[in-house]
Amino acid sequence: MNVHADVARRRIEELLGTSDEQILRRWSALAKAPVDELKELYQALRTALAEEGSDLADIRGLLAELSRDRVRRGHTPSDTARAVFGLKEAVYEVVEADGGPEALRGFIWFSRLIDDLGLYTIETYATAREKVILDQAEQLLELSTPVVKLWDGIVAVPLVGTLDSARTQVVMEKLLQTLVDTGSEHAVIDITGVPAVDTQVAQHLLKTVVAARLMGAECVISGISPQIAYTIVTLGIEFGDIVTKATLADALAYTLRRSGIEFGEGRRTQIAIRAEDA
Amino acid sequence: MTDGGRMPIASNADVVAVRQQVRAVAIEAGMSLIDQTKVVTAASELARNVLVHAGGGRVTVEVVDDGRRRGLRLAFSDEGPGIADVEQALVDGYTTGPGLGLGLGGSRRLVDQFDLTSAPGEGTTIVVTKWARG
Amino acid sequence: MERVPILKLGDILIISIQIDLDDQSVLGLQEDLAERVVATGARGVVIDITAVEIIDSFIGRMLATIAAMCRLLDADTVVVGMRPAVAITLVELGLSLGGVRTALDLEKGVAALGHLHGRDTTR
């Protein structure tokens, strides 16, 4: 920093000290925030500026806190940034009244500093949001992928909610592993709770069925809604010889029959295990 | 961070050695079992390509890190006849050798990045990258 | 080149692949197996790949070739024990091994062969 800039900066620091009440009041009006809320921030800024070579860590911490607080109270992140930017206008009025060249030159430096701090509040907001979203996505992935046993040798995955490519992949890997772990030769993939699929998800479903076949197991897809059926046909996705059933119950009945278990007719359901197929 | 180093591809046994080395480095990069299997399979295809079409070559195996995730980068190179029509070579079922023609197209589907540089008479370089998921 | 042992159980031949196969061994196995099928008059072949960690297009083609060859020699082939990661990779690679029968494990594979021949060979 050359001598001029140093003098200019010191002049701003002086003004922040001598006119602190005026600036705070004006800032409070511009930012539409109570003086008390801004006071701590203002003091922290002054302390940071007074320290030679300060990295503004304290004030960044305070800003992050302010940003979180205000979001909780329903302010938008731009609101918060605008509130921080308000300090520039408040200080400029004091600088204008002072009229000295040092103060004017110093204001340029000060203005840049406040810009940085304002943008920092936005950044904090975005980072916090991103973390929440990531955490939720992860929880969702774990929560929503149960593979359940329906019968000896029959497992099912009831899929609920929107499927994206990553989630479909996780579910499918889990299903295939369950086939091995339980020695199940039949699997039902139930998509009753899935509102829509895109090409990629449909492809993943198909690949899973083919992979299961390679391992020696058969998959049935059940609960295809009319919309999904329409999507699959319009996208030109070939389901080929993959067995599909309207409901999970139909799919269960089908797989039971396939594994050699027969239901008797009549009021009481009788289950007889077929001894020999040949 | 270990460097898997440079490995020659001059025989069938070398192809097996490449598979084993890629597996070891993939585990080190923290890849899931599925991703390990995919990248090892791609390595096997590409190493065999080097052997069959160029009579031999080499591969460099290294762990890469882009700040968010880790991955594996494999660079296969040979001084063979090269590929005249790269687009065509990547089409499934296209082959000039005894294979199924799934080597290039298939291995491209198994990795995240696939860069092929080749010209007739100038050999072939294929660099593939696979990132550890999540 | 390493040789994969071929075991005979009744009229079934059982191959359990326990090594990392190089291409030469793959071709060797194909030849050995065809000879054994003819020599023993086997009606079924079970290939156990539980221990196999990867199947690339070359090994995949061997499985399909063996199945087709055995069919010509009047024997059925069942591939058993493919790992999920291997199956997913094969599908991604573009191989679906059409025409190759599969089962979850050796026991189910042998049972499937018995089924095909109209009798239970496990008994």
Count how many domains chain A has: 2
Q: Is C80 left (phi over 0), alpha (psi -120 to 50) or beta?
A: beta
pLDDT band at A130 (very low <50, low <70, confident <90, very high): confident
pLDDT score of A2: 55
As a whole number of Å, the end-to-end CA separation of chain A is: 94
- In the predicted model, what is the mean pLDDT of chain A? 84
Which value does ipTM take for this structure? Answer: 0.89
pLDDT band at B99 (very low <50, low <70, confident <90, very high): low
For A163-209, what is each residue's pLDDT tens digit?
A: 777 778 888 889 999 999 999 999 999 999 888 888 888 888 889 99
Helical segments of A51-148, H only: 57-72, 77-98, 101-143
Task: Tell me which of B1 and A92 has the higher pLDDT.
Answer: A92
CATH number where C81 lies: 3.30.750.24
CB contact under 8 A, B19 and C54: yes
CB contact under 8 A, C88 and A216: no
pLDDT score of C121: 46
Residues forming beta bridges with residue C101, ordered by sequence position: C78
From the CA of C10, how many Å to the nearest CA of chain B?
A: 34
pLDDT score of B8: 94
Residue A74 lies in a domain: yes
Hey, of B34, B36, B68, B112, which one would you mutate to test binding to chain A, going by the most A CBs within 10 A of its CB? Answer: B34
pLDDT band at A227 (very low <50, low <70, confident <90, very high): confident
Please give the single-letter amino acid code of residue A139. Answer: Q
CB-defined contacts B:C, below 8 A: 72
CB contact under 8 A, A214 and C91: yes
Residue C68 lies in a domain: yes
With beta carbons less than 8 A apart as the criterion, state whether B82 and B122 touch. Answer: yes
The answer to whether residue A266 scores a pLDDT higher than 70 is no
CATH number where B18 lies: 3.30.565.10
The answer to whether residue B7 scores a pLDDT higher than 80 is yes
Residue A269 lies in a domain: yes
Give percent of chain A above pLDDT 90: 22
CATH number where A259 lies: 3.30.750.24
Pick the last residue of a domain from A92, A119, A139. Answer: A139
Residue A140 phi, psi (nearest 5): -60, -45
pLDDT score of B92: 77
The answer to whether residue C120 scores a pLDDT higher than 50 is no
The answer to whether residue A273 scores a pLDDT higher than 90 is no
The answer to whether residue B2 scores a pLDDT higher than 80 is no
Task: Tell me which of A158 and B94 has the higher pLDDT.
Answer: A158
pLDDT score of A272: 57
Residue A127 and residue A7 share a domain? yes
Residue C123 lies in a domain: no
For B108-129, what is each residue's pLDDT tens digit?
A: 999 999 999 888 888 899 999 9
From the CA of A221, how many Å to the nearest CA of chain C?
A: 18
Distance between CA A161 and CA C71 in Å, rounded?
45
Q: Which domain covers residue B115, as residue numbers? A: 3-131
Give percent of chain B above pLDDT 90: 57
Residue A278 lies in a domain: no
pLDDT band at B98 (very low <50, low <70, confident <90, very high): low
Q: Which domain covers residue A123, as residue numbers? A: 3-139
User: Mean per-residue pLDDT for B76-92?
Assistant: 84
